[in-house]
Amino acid sequence: MQKRFCTAGTCIPEKNYMVDISGRIDRIIREYIEKGQYFTINRARQYGKTTTLYLLEKKLAGEYLVLSLSFEAADEYFQSLSSLAEGLVMDIGECLRRQNTEEKLVEEWFTPLSEKFPMRSLGMKISSLCRKSRKKVVLMIDEVDKSSDNQIFLSFLGLLREKYLRWQQGKDETFQSVILAGVYDVKTLKIKLHPEEETKYNSPWNVAADFVIDMSFTAEDIESMLEEYEADYHTGMDLATMSQLLYDYTSGYPFLVSKLCQLMDERIGAEQGILDKSAAWTKEGFLSAVKLLLKEPNTLFDDMTKKLLDYPKLREMLQNILFAGISYPFKRETPVIDLGVTFGFLTEKEGTVAVANRIFEIQMYDLFLSEMAVDSELYVEAAADRNQFIVSGMLQMDLVMKKFYEHYEEIYSENDQKFIEGNGRKLFLLYLKPIINGVGNYYIEARTRDNKRTDVVIDYRGKQFIIELKIWRGEEYNARGEAQIFEYLDFYKQDRGYLLSFNFNKNKKTGIRELEYQGKTILEVVV
């Protein structure tokens, strides 16, 4: 069977190209399951949780009795204690039969529950099963936070906790390990007990160990996956370069890595009418895949849009980071930061809050700018002039900068200083968006993103353009900025760069000039 990259459902090693996470699976067994730990694998959507549970179940199958469940379609289980207990008896019974558990144990498992005390009766069944089974029993439940906001769920967690504590004291038999997988950490989840009560923290899952294993992919992980693909297709790709590109744009987010690989494999070469896949696995092919990913809807981006609408404080924080360069100290205990990390949107970088990866950053810029474009004169001007900026298929960046200067002077030169100081970056990106939209991408270089200066990197048909944006703070500061961008041109291996300064001095001198240094040139625009 021909393998494919998987972006929906469980990744199967025999069917899909995938990162080898066997080392992580072994570590979970060694550090958690063998030690009798109960824990939650809480990661953002499409982060490989279900695949991890599947591979973990396969690895455990010989030595352990594994009860692998999912609450994905179990809404009716949470109508009452009886319905939950009956549902779990049914699902666990299927697991027992699937693993050829001795018939006597299966028959005992299916004896009727107490109608008056269904959860206590379920607890006794668990004790009996774990006591009589020849193998230690592990319980795994996927999508556990689907119905985690009600008292029925709390009762179930309470049962597991009580049995765990009694087991630790030598007074009961229960599961060797319990693994709950979901987006939210059940230990700190806000539980709403009754409609008339305010939301409160009230989870009895405080017996769980912290799950600290990194589930993102490294560049080396990605390269090992591409080696297998290359052995099948012989594209001639530079494995190290391609793996690093994938990591640079995704920070190892599993779905994004697999999706970009899938697009290069199945779409890029085909759209160019090329039968072999070699052209797709180049930097230009990769950037085309990024463009496709950002252009087409997918469940991850749909969920992002919904979450940003549902949580306005998180949305405001992201806009402040992206457009104003505001730096927030990273403190996971801060509710809005914890929410952003839980959803996979935020991460910690050198002690401050950062957007989790470049793909998310570009998607958020596009989302926020699209909303602003409706009322933006600058956007309308750029869209109307778009054709003149593209000559023989290539972006004419010099002309973009010169025309931005003209339109800015015409529309905003008399505007309030505070407005421009807070929105200068936003105005330039609004102008840029319709010009490169659909063909090129841009991102903000994380190392320079602050409220003083920013590097915008444009990728257009395989060519890069480096633009530094900064607020004018005097001749000496400006000279340092000019020196820095020459250094960045060296780093990016470019001979020409661009410097856009917003000057708010009363006697400011605006205009356009060229600077040269050691064979490199900067087009400097001061508005």
pLDDT (tens digit per residue) in 46-65? 999 999 999 999 999 989 99
Q: Quick count: other Cβ atoms within 10 Å of Cβ 412?
A: 18
3-state secondary structure of 514: strand
More confident residue, 386 or 454: 386
Q: Say how far apart CA 305 and CA 363 lie, in whole Å.
A: 10
CB 190 within 8 A of CB 51: no
3-state secondary structure of 398: helix
pLDDT band at 199 (very low <50, low <70, confident <90, very high): very low
pLDDT of residue 452: 61
Q: Say how far apart CA 384 and CA 434 lie, in whole Å.
A: 9
pLDDT band at 170 (very low <50, low <70, confident <90, very high): very high
pLDDT of residue 192: 42
pLDDT exceeds cutoff 60 at 492: yes
pLDDT of residue 486: 83
pLDDT exceeds cutoff 50 at 506: yes
pLDDT of residue 440: 86
Amino acid at 356: A
Q: Which residue has the tokens 């041109």?
A: 489
Query: Which residue(s) pair with 218 in the sheet?
Result: none
pLDDT exceeds cutoff 70 at 316: yes
Reported as half-sphere exposure (CB side, CA atoms, 13 A), residue 334 has a value of 15
CA 277 to chain centre: 28
- 111, 113, 116, 140, 153 from 81: Cα distances, Å: 17, 11, 10, 20, 9
More confident residue, 120 or 427: 120
Q: Supply the DSSP string of 319-376, one letter for each residue.
A: HHHHHH----B--TTSHHHHHHHHTTSEEEETTEEEES-HHHHHHHHHHHHHHHHTT-
Least confident residue range of 46-60, 158-172, 313-327: 313-327
Which contiguous run of DSSP H or E holds residue 496?
Answer: strand 496-502
Q: Domain limits of the chain?
A: 20-201, 219-296, 380-527
pLDDT exceeds cutoff 70 at 201: no
What residues have CB less than 8 Å from 238, skipping those under 6 apart? Answer: none
CATH class of 20-201: alpha beta
pLDDT mean over 469-494? 77
pLDDT (tens digit per residue) in 205-217? 889 999 999 999 9
Q: What is the maximum span of the chain, computed from C-alpha positions, in angstroms?
A: 92
pLDDT exceeds cutoff 50 at 132: yes
Reported as half-sphere exposure (CB side, CA atoms, 13 A), residue 317 has a value of 24
CA 11 to chain centre: 18
The percent of residues above 90 in pLDDT, for the chain, comes to 64
CB 68 within 8 A of CB 53: yes
Q: Say how far apart CA 434 and CA 179 lie, in whole Å.
A: 48
Angle between helices 417-436 and 377-385 (to 10 degrees): 30
CB 181 within 8 A of CB 143: yes
CA 234 to chain centre: 30
pLDDT band at 81 (very low <50, low <70, confident <90, very high): very high
Least confident residue range of 78-92, 206-220, 405-419: 405-419
Q: Which residue has the tokens 């600058």?
A: 378
More confident residue, 392 or 276: 392
pLDDT mean over 424-443? 87
Mean pLDDT of the chain, nearest integer? 89
Report the first-to-last Cα separation within the chain, whole angstroms. 60
Q: What HEC string does 442-496 produce? A: EEECHHHCCCCEEEEEEEECCEEEEEEEEECCCHHHHHHHHHHHHHHHHHHCCCE
pLDDT of residue 234: 93
- 184, 332, 405, 424, 508 from 416: Cα distances, Å: 44, 37, 17, 12, 15
Query: Which residue(s) pair with 516 in the sheet?
Result: 521
pLDDT of residue 389: 95
pLDDT (tens digit per residue) in 108-119? 999 999 999 999
Structure tokens at 172: 């009961």
List phi, psi (to 5°) of 186. -60, -25
pLDDT of residue 421: 63
What residues have CB less than 8 Å from 15, skipping those under 6 apart? Answer: 1, 3, 4, 6
pLDDT of residue 477: 64
List phi, psi (to 5°) of 382. -65, -40
Closest by CA position to 405, among listed 278, 309, 474, 502: 502
pLDDT of residue 189: 56
pLDDT of residue 198: 44
pLDDT of residue 197: 46
Structure tokens at 180: 């709950």
pTM given for the model: 0.89
Beta 190-191 vs 177-182: how paired, if at all? unpaired
The percent of residues above 70 in pLDDT, for the chain, comes to 90
Q: Say how far apart CA 111 and CA 92 lie, in whole Å.
A: 13
User: Can you give the length of the chain in residues?
Assistant: 527
pLDDT of residue 191: 45
3-state secondary structure of 501: strand
What residues have CB less than 8 Å from 437, skipping those under 6 apart? Answer: none
Q: Say how far apart CA 4 and CA 160 lie, in whole Å.
A: 39
- 122, 179, 322 from 138: Cα distances, Å: 16, 8, 44
pLDDT exceeds cutoff 80 at 514: yes
More confident residue, 326 or 19: 19
Reported as half-sphere exposure (CB side, CA atoms, 13 A), residue 514 has a value of 7
What residues have CB less than 8 Å from 332, skipping those under 6 apart? Answer: 338, 341
CB 189 within 8 A of CB 148: yes
pLDDT of residue 231: 96
pLDDT band at 185 (very low <50, low <70, confident <90, very high): confident
Q: Say how far apart CA 138 and CA 50 lie, in whole Å.
A: 16
pLDDT exceeds cutoff 70 at 179: yes
